[in-house]
Amino acid sequence: MHTLPPCPQCTLENTYPDGENYICPDCAHEWPMLASDTSDDDDSRVVKDSNNNPLADGDAVILIKDLKVKGSSTTLKKGTKVKSIRLVAGDHEVDCKIDGTSFMLKACFLKKA
């Protein structure tokens, strides 16, 4: 079964095809279907924070809201500064360590420090 790509703007997976474009009903973003085929190049992928600033490997970011950790009673608090992030492919674009524990976070919950 072919899976549709998540929205590159809001990262939600509610997308649907319409003609030659994908459409996200959540944020009304449209993008061409061909763009997903040419995204093999890691340099072409731009990850942006909640303020639409581009993020890069090694940046420091700050959480903009409390995040409950799935499968745990832990909560990551708003305002927590995370240093030396690493960008990865997938719906959770940011890989980082907070207090020695590895987490995968969505960029929409972060702002560049």
* 51 and 105 together in one domain: yes
* 94 and 68 together in one domain: yes
Residue 51 belongs to domain with CATH number: 2.30.30.40
* 37 and 64 together in one domain: no
Q: Contact, 50 vs 63, CB < 8 A?
A: no
pTM value surpassing 0.75: no
Looking at residue 44, its pLDDT comes to 60
Q: Contact, 54 vs 37, CB < 8 A?
A: no
Structural domain of 58: 47-112
pLDDT digits (tens, 9 = 90+) for 32-46: 887 544 444 445 678
Q: Contact, 42 vs 19, CB < 8 A?
A: no
Segment 75-104 shows an average pLDDT of 93
Band of pLDDT at residue 1, cut at 50, 70 and 90? very low
* 39 and 75 together in one domain: no
Of the three residues 26, 44, 62, the one that is the final residue of a domain is 44
